[in-house]
Amino acid sequence: MDKPELKNFTKPESIKDYPVGPSFSGGHLVSVNSGWRTFKPVVALDTCTGCYRCYLVCPDGVIVKTEAGKVAVDYDFCKGCGVCAHECPFDAIEMVKEDLQK
Amino acid sequence: MMHNHKNESVFVSGDEAVALGVRLSRPHVISAYPITPQTIVVERLSEMVEDGSLVARYIHVESEHSAMSAAMGASSVGARAFTATSSQGLLYMAEGLHYASGGRMPIVMMNANRSLALPWSIFGDHRDSMSMLDSGWIQVYVEDAQEALDMTIQAYRIAEDSSVLTPLMINLDGFILTHTYELVEVPPQEEVDSYLPPFSTPNKMSLEDPKSMGFSTSPADNMEFKYQQHKAMMDSREVIKQADKEYAEIFGRSYNGLIDCYQCDNAEYILVTAGSVTGTARVAVDSMRSKGIKAGVLRIRFMRPFPEQEVRNTLAGAASYGVLDKDISFGYEGTMFTNVNSALSGTAHIPRGINFIGGLGGRDISVQDIEEMFEALRLCPAHDYTEYRKNRIRFVNMGVSIHE
Amino acid sequence: MNNKRITVKNMTDKEYFFGHKACAGCGGSLAVRLALKVFGDRTFAALPAGCMSAVGFIYPQMAFLNNAIISTFPGTGSMLSGMRAGLDALGIKDTHVVGFAGDGGTADIGLQALSGAIDREEKIIYICYDNEAYMNTGVQKSSLTPYGARTTTSPAGENLPGSVMHKKNLFEIVAAHDIAYAATASVGYPQDYLNKLSKAALVEGTSYIHIYATCPTGWGTPTETSVSLAKEAVDSGLWYLAEYENGEFTLNRRPKEFFPVKEHLLKQGRFKHLKDSDIRIIEEARDKKWKRMLEHWK
């Protein structure tokens, strides 16, 4: 997966450190989306066939193709919508309640 | 001053002078939508693109809102953009005006000053541009076709300065300037090229450094961007003066920066004007002076940034001043008058001022009208205060009695 | 640009629209994500006011990896024209200039500028992610809101069934410009969408893709059904997959029999109130449309 890195960002102290007008580097991520989730997708690797249906339909692009030809999830940015689990033709993804994992 | 000898003299209208200035400024993109009395500008530019004398992309947009949106699209990828409008068209692109200034896109636009509906009128006054005074654009009001051409070239130099990056609106009085033919000197391209460098800005999209532009801010950051806009506009005052100075060195014509004074040095009665009516005012000043009355005229060239210090220094010593507004903010007074009064506030001696509202919807303002303004300025210091305040806002040259 | 068919197997791993703050299960964000994976690094995007601009450019979190700008709400088409003209004038070659606008930004306030842009035949790609209401402002009716949908400005009650207007036929309005390429798509048929994106990328003139994009927040649907529901909308005949090229319309999918409209609609909160008589009105409108398409389209 090829995505922007999470960056540390501190608010500028001087007006001179602000961008000139509302213009900023693209792909500048300073916060994650994991806190949005109630359920998280958990991939059963033995059932996953690597068809990548979940990768195709993820609205957030958080499904990662692994070298083993399976998939993994970028939990920093997964919002837990459940589209991946619902669309999986092999029932290889289960939505698991977050607090049960803690 | 070094005067060049390669100037070509042409007999053109104000609109055509702007088109010639645009060509010399080598814009990449022109977005065009017709509206009287601006239309001739975009007609001439289309001809220049057709005959190859101007290498630019000419976009036929379907509205003024799109004219500004297209110009912003061009500016956002680092292209020099030009557009032109007037009156209702200026108001229709109002959203884009604030957008371009907030986006720090140094677009140059010509506005043919024209009355606003209702009632409909295609004739000139300043109500269109004055109502857009808060849109974050630098606003210059020119007096003749030569100044229109010269300011078009200077406009890019000022707007694109790295400390400014603010769009600029060149205002020409509808018909009086846009459609009147004058002899205009056209400077050679190579000298314009040496005066006006190619457009470069950090504020653009690029393949090397992809940008997210026009983003949104929370209340925690929004004011900082607004402060930057204000600072850039305030800093543009020095850039405007420097641009004028260097222009004079190369081309032999100076417009004295933010204001242009005539007989103000020892004047007791000063009339503040903008645009083409200034010529009429100068004739009236000469006439008053021949009668021994110390009259002068202060032409405001830039309404934004406002020449606060220059106005204050010029008016502070006068016995009284008038402001001739081709505009009115209903329920108060002319917009120039409000701005001039604000510049004077806090000074030790504030002379009395009278606001003359004239020229609305193209109503004529004659030399005699202006002589009468100077007469009123002579009388007003002696009036008692109540009487003075009662007659502070005066409509000039009404066709009917307004005393009911 | 290569002609190879882009699929989930060979598409770039690069995510161009990532870390955005769209609602969970947002169909619009999937439409943008897939489009940018097809168009790639040399894409200059413009997005008017709407969900995708609101969730993608919150300083200092910038979710677009490629160049992107928020355009004026009514001016997406013209801003795209300006960007294309500027890039061409500056000699910046092999670029895609792409607009992503919602249904309101396309069919209502942005229609004039879109029409102008298509008329100019510039090489731009305009994608309308149609979630059938003004979702970003809190679910108000647009001209692409279908009959019977409850929105916050088309309430359903004793006197009204929600929206009393049918969906504006924007695809054919766009095609009537004799545009170089236009297509409809659905996030429920992602491969079909990828094919159309690839086609649009190669078109010399203007192209337009109208993609049906689920909005769980505005539709009152479970987030996980965003893709299956958008597929079902096509299968029930309430949306269709088609193309317009060389002056001809082509239907890409002709369901042998329609998925039941009632069953499809009642899964959505916005249609829960519909009476059988309302559903008949919706079916009749669908049948009229399909009769015409089957008669006249390839």
Residue B201's SS3 state is coil
**Within-domain flag for A15:** no
* B229-263 pLDDT tens trace: 999 999 999 999 999 999 999 999 999 999 999 99
End-to-end CA distance of chain B: 58
pLDDT of residue B215 exceeding 50, the answer is yes
Report in angstroms the alpha-carbon separations of C233 from B44, C34, C147: 53, 20, 14
Structure tokens at A12: 């500028």
Same domain, B146 and B195: yes
Confidence of residue B1 (pLDDT cuts 50, 70, 90): very low
Q: What is the span of the domain harbouring residue A55?
A: 33-101
Q: Is A36 on the interface with C (CB under 8 A)?
A: yes
**Within-domain flag for B2:** no
For the domain that residue B294 is a member of, what is the CATH number?
3.40.50.920
Closest CA to B81 of C240, C89, C109: C89
Same domain, B221 and B107: yes
**Within-domain flag for B3:** no
Domain's final residue, options B251, B283, B308: B251
Report in angstroms the alpha-carbon separations of B93 from A21, B67, B84, B165, C108: 20, 8, 11, 20, 18
Confidence of residue B403 (pLDDT cuts 50, 70, 90): confident
**Within-domain flag for B12:** yes
List chain B residues with CB under 8 Å of C40: none
**Within-domain flag for A24:** no
Task: Report the pLDDT value the prediction gives residue A1, as an integer from 0 to 100.
Answer: 57
Same domain, B210 and B286: no
* B350-386 pLDDT tens trace: 999 999 999 999 999 999 999 999 999 999 999 999 9
Closest CA to C137 of C72, C32, C53, C60: C53
Query: How many CB atoms are located within 10 Å of the residue B117 CB?
Result: 11
**Within-domain flag for A5:** no
* B178-199 pLDDT tens trace: 999 999 999 999 999 999 999 9
Report in angstroms the alpha-carbon separations of C212 from B17, C110, C145: 51, 18, 12
Residue C51 · residue C136 · CB < 8 Å: yes
Alpha-carbon gap, residue B67 to B83, rounded angstroms: 7
Same domain, B136 and B209: yes
Q: Tell me, what DSSP letter sits at residue C5?
A: P
Count Cβ atoms within 10 A of the Cβ of residue B402 and give its class: 0-12 exposed, 13-18 middle, 19 or more buried. exposed
Same domain, B232 and B273: no
Q: Is B98 on the interface with A (CB under 8 A)?
A: no
Instruction: Give all domains of chain C, ordered by start, each with its CATH number.
Output: 27-296 (3.40.50.970)
Q: Please provide the DSSP assignment of B27-93 as one string.
A: -SEEEE---TTTHHHHHHHHHHHHHTSS--EEEE-SSHHHHHHHHHHHHHTT--EEEEEEHHHHHHT
ipTM: 0.97
**Within-domain flag for B403:** no
Question: Which of B163, B200, B213, B222 has the highest number of chain A CBs within 10 A, making it the mutation to test binding with A?
Answer: B213
List chain B residues with CB under 8 Å of A29: none
Structure tokens at B173: 């009085």
Structure tokens at B92: 């229709």
**Taking the CA of residue B358 as centre, how many other CA atoms within 13 Å lie in the half-sphere pointing to its CB?**
25
Question: Which of A34, A56, A91, A95 has the highest number of chain C CBs within 10 A, making it the mutation to test binding with C?
Answer: A56
Same domain, B229 and B264: no
Alpha-carbon gap, residue B124 to A70, rounded angstroms: 71
Alpha-carbon gap, residue C280 to C284, rounded angstroms: 6
* B101-160 pLDDT tens trace: 999 999 999 999 999 999 999 999 999 999 999 999 999 999 999 999 999 999 999 999
Instruction: Report whether the peptide linkage leading into residue B37 is cis, meaning its omega lies within 30 degrees of zero.
Output: yes
pLDDT of residue B275 exceeding 70, the answer is yes
Q: Do C69 and B207 touch (CB under 8 A)?
A: no
pLDDT in single tens digits along all 298 residues of chain C: 455 799 999 999 999 999 999 999 999 999 999 999 999 999 999 999 999 999 999 999 999 999 999 999 999 999 999 999 999 999 999 999 999 999 999 999 999 999 999 999 999 999 999 999 999 999 999 999 999 999 999 999 999 999 999 999 999 999 999 999 999 999 999 999 999 999 999 999 999 999 999 999 999 999 999 999 999 999 999 999 999 999 999 999 999 999 999 999 999 999 999 999 999 999 999 999 999 999 999 9
Q: Between β-strands A63-65 and A71-73, what pairing exists: parallel, antiparallel or unpaired?
A: antiparallel
pLDDT of residue B33 exceeding 50, the answer is yes
Q: What is the span of the domain harbouring residue B115?
A: 8-251
Same domain, B236 and B371: no
Distance from CA of C95 to the nearest CA of B (A): 9
Q: Is C162 on the interface with A (CB under 8 A)?
A: no
Alpha-carbon gap, residue A25 to C66, rounded angstroms: 9
Alpha-carbon gap, residue B206 to B187, rounded angstroms: 34
Confidence of residue A100 (pLDDT cuts 50, 70, 90): low
Residues 121-180 of C with CB under 8 A from B: none
**Phi, psi angles (nearest 5°) of residue B29:** -135, 135
* C197-227 pLDDT tens trace: 999 999 999 999 999 999 999 999 999 999 9
What is the total count of domains within chain A?
1
Q: What is the mean pLDDT of residues B57-70?
A: 98
Structure tokens at A60: 């957030």
pLDDT of residue B273 exceeding 90, the answer is yes
Residue C89 · residue C66 · CB < 8 Å: no
As a whole-number percent, the residues of chain B with pLDDT over 70 amount to 99
Residue C80 · residue C124 · CB < 8 Å: yes
Residue C250: beta bridge partners?
C243
Task: Report the pLDDT value the prediction gives residue A101, as an integer from 0 to 100.
Answer: 52
**Within-domain flag for B357:** yes
Task: Report the pLDDT value the prediction gives residue C134, as an integer from 0 to 100.
Answer: 98
The torsion region of residue B172 among left (phi > 0), alpha (psi -120 to 50) and beta comes to beta
| Single-letter amino acid, residue B369 | D
For the domain that residue A69 is a member of, what is the CATH number?
3.30.70.20
Same domain, B278 and B389: yes
**Phi, psi angles (nearest 5°) of residue C17:** -130, 95
**Within-domain flag for B400:** no
For the domain that residue B165 is a member of, what is the CATH number?
3.40.50.970
Task: Report the pLDDT value the prediction gives residue C4, as an integer from 0 to 100.
Answer: 76
Same domain, B143 and B237: yes
Distance from CA of B8 to the nearest CA of C (A): 28
Task: Report the pLDDT value the prediction gives residue B125, as an integer from 0 to 100.
Answer: 98
Nearest chain B residue to C44 by CA: give it: B205
Q: Is C255 on the interface with A (CB under 8 A)?
A: no
Q: Give B48-54 contacts, CB < 8 A, sequence gap 24+.
A: B48/B19, B48/B23, B53/B23, B54/B22, B54/B23, B54/B26
Same domain, B242 and B276: no
Residue B90 · residue B132 · CB < 8 Å: yes
**Within-domain flag for A73:** yes
Q: Number of Cβ pairs closer than 8 Å across B and C?
A: 170
Confidence of residue B5 (pLDDT cuts 50, 70, 90): low
* A21-73 pLDDT tens trace: 999 999 999 999 999 999 999 999 999 999 999 999 999 999 999 999 999 99
Cβ-nearest to B212 among A11, A15, A26:
A26
Task: Report the pLDDT value the prediction gives residue B2, as an integer from 0 to 100.
Answer: 45
Structure tokens at B38: 């601006």
**Within-domain flag for A2:** no
Query: How many CB atoms are located within 10 Å of the residue B368 CB?
Result: 12
* C142-169 pLDDT tens trace: 999 999 999 999 999 999 999 999 999 9
Neighbors of chain A with 3 or more C-beta pairs under 8 Å: B, C
Same domain, B244 and B331: no
Cβ-nearest to A24 among C24, C60, C191:
C60
Using only C-alpha atoms, what is the Rg of chain A?
Answer: 17
Q: Is B197 on the interface with A (CB under 8 A)?
A: no
Same domain, B170 and B294: no
What is the total count of domains within chain B?
2
Question: Which of C14, C72, C111, C115 has the highest number of chain B CBs within 10 A, making it the mutation to test binding with B?
Answer: C72
**Within-domain flag for B367:** yes
Question: Which of C37, C42, C227 has the highest number of chain A CBs within 10 A, making it the mutation to test binding with A?
Answer: C227
